[in-house]
Structure 1
């Protein structure tokens, strides 16, 4: 029995956007990326088997690579990863039903890119600084030092809770400080949930093209001031995942 195919939708773009010939989609082997057009809009799609499991790391990488590469040259509204419809007619129906709303969103994201700042505390540096400032925690640390874990379990749990709370409070402060320091060069910001217990900052910014250099310099300055405590990464330019998703625009 022949496999039934559908279309994986990556994102919504203006109708004049053309996928590059070398663009590769999800699946194994990777599908060819094409555009389904309707009026002022197009959807970037590739053919996939309806029974084909998606979600491998290579699939997510292909999805992000296509959207991030597109965002550098044209506005794009990312569609939630894994969105598959039965065929081109279904894609055209989606575009027709939301033509004005999608077109307005694309206008809003013209010449704007996402950057995400992600920093993680150096564990030893953070704990050393915390114990130097907190006498109660330092006393607990002295109490458990050199003792068998089973004998000091209660104290270790209390100390761990104190450190965890301190990380959370410092993370909130660092996110605020980051937004204060670089937010003037961004159109919008979106603080994100931590992805690790030692996350220090995790914020996405929507940046206009003519502010990119200033934004990057401001992030570098922020990171330099904290380089002994926080290992910082600037991720981007990206499609505006944290500011718009086309599936969220559909009621």
Structure 2
């Protein structure tokens, strides 16, 4: 029977799975497949698994339960193996790498920071104040200059300034938070975000990170939203 694979841990991890059911319309109990020093947490499945809300929540609950008792390598949602032997083969083949990764992640969790321009008005006003060229174009438009190129020129100039200032702010935020992380990954921004940052944070640095994030929110002021999520399974560092 096919298996849904949740995560990998050492054979000595407690893997407290009592009361947890797996993904799918007919969820099976969770169990372990062990090979040498490693174990994978799995459940039997007899269907194609799609990212439905219930199954996403189950996947996350399993990771959080396991993280509470020690380091794990959380797999992304949807990892399927053909059978127990296939899982054991992967564990055997990659044992050294998995053990090194588990040691690296020990005592850490992922924190995820997204930063977006929530209100552009303060930024646009600042650009008009700082840029003589933008200010001149804006004043000519407001005075009724009929040149049809003026709005386009002003729009392009402002767009370049917005991008440059957001890139500068994003770089500054990364540098401000790096002292609290063992590792970091900058992901491509999505939607209205201009920073999408994952931090691998040791437990002893958690409170310092939260304090630093709160201080940054106060320093930046209005118009920019900083959304910090965590502690999370360290997906970005597996």
TM range (shorter): 0.7 to 0.9
- Superposed CA RMSD in Å reads 2.8
Match of 2:22 in 1: 25
Match of 1:190 in 2: 185
SS at match of 1:18: coil
Checking the alignment, whether the CA contact within 8 Å between 1:19 and 1:33 is kept in structure 2 is: no
Checking the alignment, whether the CA contact within 8 Å between 2:15 and 2:66 is kept in structure 1 is: no
Q: Deviations over 1:118-173 (max 9, x none)?
A: 1211233333333332344445556777x9xxx99966555554444333322322
Checking the alignment, whether the CA contact within 8 Å between 2:3 and 2:83 is kept in structure 1 is: yes
Q: Which runs of 5+ in 1 are unaligned?
A: 245-251
Q: 1:168 aligns with which of 142, 163, 188?
A: 163
Tell me: CA distance 1:85–1:183, structure 2 relative to 1, closer, same or farther (3 Å). Answer: same
Q: Decide which moves more: 53-62 or 116-125.
A: 53-62
State how far apart, in whole Å, the 2-side matches of 1:152 and 1:39 are.
Answer: 75
Q: How high is the TM-score relative to the length of structure 2? A: 0.84
Task: Write out aligned runs for 1:97-136 (5 A).
Answer: 97-121=93-117, 122-136=119-133
Q: 1:179 aligns with which of 155, 174, 182?
A: 174
Structure 2 residue 206 is matched with structure 1 residue 212: yes
SS at match of 1:73: coil
Offset, 1:228: 0.9
Task: Write out aligned runs for 1:12-161 (5 A).
Answer: 12-15=8-11, 16-50=13-47, 52-121=48-117, 122-140=119-137, 158-161=153-156
Checking the alignment, whether the CA contact within 8 Å between 1:19 and 1:35 is kept in structure 2 is: no
Number of residue pairs matched by the alignment = 235
SS at match of 1:167: helix
